Chains A and B, each alone.
Chain A
Amino acid sequence: MEIIKLEDISKKYKKEKVLNNLNLSIESGQITGIIGPNGAGKSTTLSIMADLIPYDDGKVTYRGSSIKDSKGKIGFIPQEIALYDSLSGFENLKFFASLYGIKGNKAKDRISEVCQYVGLEEKIKSKVKTYSGGMKRRLNITAALLNNPELLIMDEPTVGIDIIARNNIIDILKKVNKQGITIVFTSHYMIEIEKLCTYIIFIKNGKIVEKGKIDEIKNKYSKSNLEEVYTLLNNK
């Protein structure tokens, strides 16, 4: 069953056409990776899914009804580290929780719950600017989990961190997915995509070049890893 569906989506920035009759759907309960070269339109696609930006043509549905009904059910993690670095991790989370109306003791409980979940308890009271890159990324993800979303949309959640920190995040995302949260994310690291995703969507110049189950696609092009598939599709 699909959780979110984009039908004939077109999007222009000024005159430049960024998305061109895009059709895709995200399977509920699965992890889907969106890949493609820089400027392909991945971030734009994710933003439309999260109802963050308007589009020119097409239709977006969330569980069969309007995307507007999904308010509060989607967690979105921006490409940047969207945190106030002069505040502590706890203060950041408290602010984001309060935006969802989670306040007082309820907020405290929820914050310690998610922090335990992602392994951030020790440094949560110190300022974000004292965190390592990996910790910031983890906190960035944690902030989107506060309102217990059904769908987690992430734009390059692991950019710029080392393998250990990345594997840590991969583990967290697997754990999140096991709880029944659907995940869509973009990444330029094919190993990470292979480790996490069951489905992939390859976008180039605002069009879908290939989509489907990762194993089926590898078989279709008779390649042993995703990186080779990526290179092939990119040159197509």
Chain B
Amino acid sequence: MLSILLLRLKLMITNKKLLLICFIIPIIVLLITGKTLERSNENLKLSIAVVDEDNSRITRETIKKISKNELFIVKESNFEAAEKMLLRDDIEGVYVFKKGFEKNIKIGKTDNLVQVHYLQGNYIAPAVTDIITSNFMFDIVTEKTKLIVEDIIYKEDSNKSQEFNSKFNERVQTIHKDEEYVLPIITEYMNSAKQDDKNSQVKKLMKNNAVNIILIFIMLAVLMNSMYTRKDYNTQIITRIKMSSCTYLKYTVGNIMGISIPVIITTLIQILFIKVFILKDVNALYLMFIFSIYIISFTIFALLLVNIFKSIQSIQAFIPYIILILYILGSLGTNIRILPTYTIQQSIFDYLLFNDYGNILTNLLYQLINTSIYFIAVITTGYKEYQYGNY
């Protein structure tokens, strides 16, 4: 097993093309796209949809204010149309100003004012929510409400009006004192209650982008390395391996480790590179952990493909079809539920490639399930050929 591991490592190191693809190109791409994103920072606009169920003065004004902000492109529509846009991924999120918004604010009821809908895995929507909350909602809660309270309610009974006013002011003051305070409905959607800085959504985009680039090169490196294992069969080296007491299990586990360990190491270097040069606040440890598990899982998956398609040529020819199949399966398996409190988008594509369930334990669990399924499949598909060969 260790022999096979060291062999794969050696084969990878002596392969200049592979080194270039797995090591050097991703770092260059990361650097270029990282810098480009940083520069396009200012032009970056985020699309959101706003549904004004209340259609009151306050909601209209708030929406106008948000629209004026240079950060957003605001599309006002009804919920059905907004939902469609969301599913098409045209917008980051739908912000529903619920019926009774104005009325609730007037009586000091500040929960359940706005519902946010976004697709799972979208890092931007929570950040947008943060911005809207901190920049626009406090305006409403403080000044606007006060004005309206003075203006309209209890006009004829000045005592009552004053009483309400002082009560409301108390509440507003508590809000100002309490730094942790955010509108309750919005808290539900935010993973981090802490305020992000102005560029948080750009940073999140950059992080997403970096993760995607690393992911693509991981897939390339793993696939290429896995394809090279076919050489053992084409050159009958496999008979030498079989003549020794190396079982198929040992051979496979050796291959898995021999392919994944170098890729894990290069990925770690890339993540460190990102942390040092592009995104300083990226959680490197978390990424490394998730990626390591993912790389092992994908290595086993790639070996499964190699076992099924056998020759390097047919694997290469089949890659577009594999993507197409995953895509079709993904859209068939897409299970999108938009509920007031949470949104899920989960496709087989996500499931096969990268599970981002936010929670590290769920992530781990899904990856372990995937990996075990692939492992059993690899052992069953490859055993026969190893045992009976092509003689």
Q: Taking beta carbons and an 8 Å cutoff, which residues of A are in contact with B?
A: 43-44, 47, 50, 52-54, 71-72, 74-76, 78-84, 86-87, 91, 95-96, 98-100, 127, 143-144, 147
B388 within 8 A of A: yes
List B contacts of A143 (CB < 8 A).
240
- CB–CB A100/B244 < 8 A: yes
Contact among B7, B14, B235, B246 for A82, CB-based, below 8 A? B235
- CB–CB B237/A43 < 8 A: no
List A contacts of B7 (CB < 8 A).
84, 95
B389 within 8 A of A: yes
Task: Specify the main secondary structure of chain A where it touches its partner.
Answer: loop
Given the interface contacts A54-B387, A98-B3, does A76 sit within 8 Å of B239 by beta carbon?
Answer: yes
- CB–CB A82/B237 < 8 A: yes
Task: Specify the main secondary structure of chain B where it touches its partner.
Answer: helix
- CB–CB A76/B389 < 8 A: no
Smallest CB separation, B167 vs chain A (Å): 80
Contact among B231, B246, B388 for A84, CB-based, below 8 A? B231
B159 within 8 A of A: no
Q: Mark B1-25, 1 if CB is under 8 A from A, else 0.
A: 0110011001100110000000000
Please name the 10 residue pairs, one residue from A and one from B, whose CB atoms are nearest each other, closest first.
A78-B236, A99-B244, A98-B3, A80-B236, A47-B391, A82-B237, A82-B236, A78-B239, A86-B14, A53-B391
A44 CA to B390 CA in the complex, in Å? 10
A87 CA to B228 CA in the complex, in Å? 13
List A contacts of B279 (CB < 8 A).
none
Given the interface contacts A52-B391, A72-B244, A95-B3, does A87 sit within 8 Å of B239 by beta carbon?
Answer: no
New A-B contacts (19) at CB < 8 Å, excluding given A82-B235, A86-B11:
A44-B391, A54-B387, A71-B245, A72-B244, A76-B240, A76-B243, A78-B239, A79-B236, A82-B239, A82-B240, A87-B10, A87-B11, A95-B6, A96-B244, A98-B3, A99-B3, A99-B240, A127-B14, A147-B244
List A contacts of B6 (CB < 8 A).
95, 98
- CB–CB A91/B10 < 8 A: yes
A78 CA to B6 CA in the complex, in Å? 23
- CB–CB B246/A99 < 8 A: yes
Smallest CB separation, A85 vs chain B (Å): 8
List A contacts of B240 (CB < 8 A).
76, 78, 82, 96, 99, 143-144
B391: nearest chain-A partner, CB-CB: A47
Listed A/B pairs (16) with beta-carbon separation below 8 Å: A52-B242, A52-B391, A53-B388, A71-B245, A72-B244, A74-B243, A78-B239, A81-B235, A82-B235, A87-B10, A95-B6, A95-B7, A96-B240, A98-B6, A99-B244, A147-B244
Q: Which of B236, B243, B245, B389 has the most CB of A within 10 A?
A: B243
Given the interface contacts A47-B391, A81-B235, A84-B231, does A99 sit within 8 Å of B241 by beta carbon?
Answer: yes
List A contacts of B236 (CB < 8 A).
78-80, 82
List A contacts of B244 (CB < 8 A).
72, 96, 99-100, 147
A75: nearest chain-B partner, CB-CB: B243
A74 CA to B242 CA in the complex, in Å? 11
Smallest CB separation, A17 vs chain B (Å): 15
List B contacts of A72 (CB < 8 A).
244-245
A91: nearest chain-B partner, CB-CB: B10
List B contacts of A83 (CB < 8 A).
235, 237
CB proximity to A under 8 Å, residues B120-159: none
List A contacts of B242 (CB < 8 A).
52
Contact among B234, B237, B243 for A50, CB-based, below 8 A? B243
Contact among A50, A84, A100 for B11, CB-based, below 8 A? A84
A46: nearest chain-B partner, CB-CB: B391
Q: Which of B15, B235, B244, B387 has the most CB of A within 10 A?
A: B244
Q: Mark B227-263, 1 if CB is under 8 A from A, else 0.
A: 0000100111101111111100000000000000000
List B contacts of A75 (CB < 8 A).
243
